[in-house]
Amino acid sequence: MSETLPSGIRVYTWWKRHGLRPIVEEYVQSVRPEKVRDLLPDNYRKSLFPWPPKSVDSLVETKNYPGQGQGSNYRRGEDLAKLVRGDQI
């Protein structure tokens, strides 16, 4: 998401301009989950900004990994594995 396209636009900006947030918002509303666990890195969240939208705000639980840099990807993977197993994070 932080890469630059040949046009000079960052990928997250391209997605934001092309309506990724409304697509994700509509999907969440149609699926009606009990909870949405947001493990996204900051550059992915930028493509959805403002996130979460008011319509699904009460469903979204955001997990941040401050100060971990590239190590945060490892932590995200661990947390995702826990969720898949049905464990709490």
Give every residue of the chain whose pLDDT is below 50, as ranges. none
* 5 domain residue, yes or no: no
**6 within a domain of the structure (yes/no):** no
- What distance in Å separates the CA atoms of residue 69 and residue 73, rounded to the nearest whole number? 8
Looking at the domain assignment, is residue 68 inside a domain?
Answer: yes
DSSP-derived letter for residue 10 is B
- Is the pTM here over 0.75, yes or no? yes
| Dist. CA 87–CA 78, nearest whole Å | 11
Instruction: Determine the 3-state secondary structure of 77 from DSSP.
Output: helix
The pLDDT of residue 68? 79
What residue numbers bound the domain in which 55 lies?
11-85
Instruction: Tell whether 44 is covered by a domain.
Output: yes
Tell me what pLDDT residue 83 has. 95
The answer to whether position 2 is within a domain reads no
Q: What three-state secondary structure class fits 88?
A: coil
Domain-located, residue 78: yes
- Please check whether residue 46 lies inside any domain of the structure: yes
User: Within a domain: residue 3?
Assistant: no
Give yes or no for a contact between 55 and 22, defined as CB atoms under 8 angstroms apart. no
Look at the chain and report how many structural domains it folds into: 1
